Amino acid sequence: MAETVPFGAGHRTGSVFLEDYDVGLAETMGGELITIVLDGEEVQTYALRVTGVTGPPQYDGMIPILMGEPDPVYQEHLLPAVVVSRGSIDPDMQRWHAGGFEYFLAAPGATMKDVPGTGRQIPDKVEIKRYAYPYNISYDLHIRARHRSQADKMLRKVGKHFWAYGQVFLKDSEGCDRGYYAFVESIAALNEIVDVTDRLQGHTFSLRVEAELDFREPSIARTAQTVTVNVNTRRNVGSNVRYKGNPFRGEEEDC
């Protein structure tokens, strides 16, 4: 009976892309996924609990975490809030593993085949996942409130995770936990006064996340079951040179 031997390298991992970092950022700062009613429909969104700060009533007093710049009409009813804006996405080739792969394993549904003359078995198909491409993703976390005391408490809550550097924790497509370094580029003050009754206080966190993006899906390839090698010597007609092996590689010898 043929022996089934361990095959491949690495272990199966999932893929990650931009939306995974958006969700990971919201969850890393302490955001909770809740259900609210918006325009008569139930939707899921992230919100933050901050001691001493009460959010909009539709969020049950929690602080909404909004992805991107919200609609101005909607925005005026959502203070205090944390608005997450994704900025530039820049390649970081210093972290690139050229030509490498994360794993090289038997493909799902592969059949084990005998390798003639070895007494062993290998899968007839393999799954190969190349390394993801490294990128730096910029984020701005806009902390917005009506009062400075509220903004400062929200700043302390978020800054606990990103005071100078930290990590963004997320799950890949296989449900595995991952962590990516995040660095604070700056913390800017936000102070806008349109009139006496319309005042906006807050801070803006500028983050740089050392991320990676999977632009390519894993590929499936067939494995070689048998290899036929012709070692017979042949003469090149019209010449006194006889070739051994592969003549196209220059493996020749005068006879």
Residue 244: per-residue pLDDT: 41
Whether 33 and 52 have beta carbons less than 8 Å apart is answered as no
Residue 7: per-residue pLDDT: 62
Whether 173 and 165 have beta carbons less than 8 Å apart is answered as no
Is 127 within a domain? yes
Q: Any long-range contacts for 215-219 (C-beta under 8 Å, 24+ apart)?
A: 215/132, 215/133, 216/130, 217/15, 218/127, 218/128, 218/129, 219/127, 219/128, 219/129, 219/130
Is 232 within a domain? no
Distance, CA of 186 to CA of 203 (rounded, Å): 10
Residue 2: per-residue pLDDT: 45
Residue 242: per-residue pLDDT: 42
> What one-character DSSP code corresponds to residue 248?
G
Is 227 within a domain? no
Is 247 within a domain? no
The identity of residue 30, as a single letter, is: G
Segments of the chain scoring below 70 in pLDDT? 1-9, 69-77, 192-198, 224-255
Q: Could you give the maximum distance between any two Cα atoms of the chain, in Å?
A: 101
Is 151 within a domain? yes
Residue 247: per-residue pLDDT: 38
Is 17 within a domain? yes
Residue 21: per-residue pLDDT: 97
Q: Which of 198, 68, 202 is nearest to 144 (CA)?
A: 202
Distance, CA of 122 to CA of 101 (rounded, Å): 20
Residue 165: per-residue pLDDT: 85
Concatenated DSSP letters for 2-19? -EE----BS-------HH
Residue 193: per-residue pLDDT: 61
Residue 214: per-residue pLDDT: 94
Is 79 within a domain? yes
Q: Specify the number of domains making up the chain.
A: 1
Distance, CA of 66 to CA of 168 (rounded, Å): 17
Joined tokens for residue 223: 């494995």
Residue numbers of the domain that contains 95: 3-222
Residue 230: per-residue pLDDT: 63
Number of H-type helices and E-type strands within the chain: 3, 17
pTM of the predicted model, to two decimals? 0.76
CATH number of the domain that residue 127 is part of: 3.30.2000
Residue 32: per-residue pLDDT: 95
Residue 35: per-residue pLDDT: 92
Residue 117: per-residue pLDDT: 74
Residue 29: per-residue pLDDT: 94
Is 208 within a domain? yes
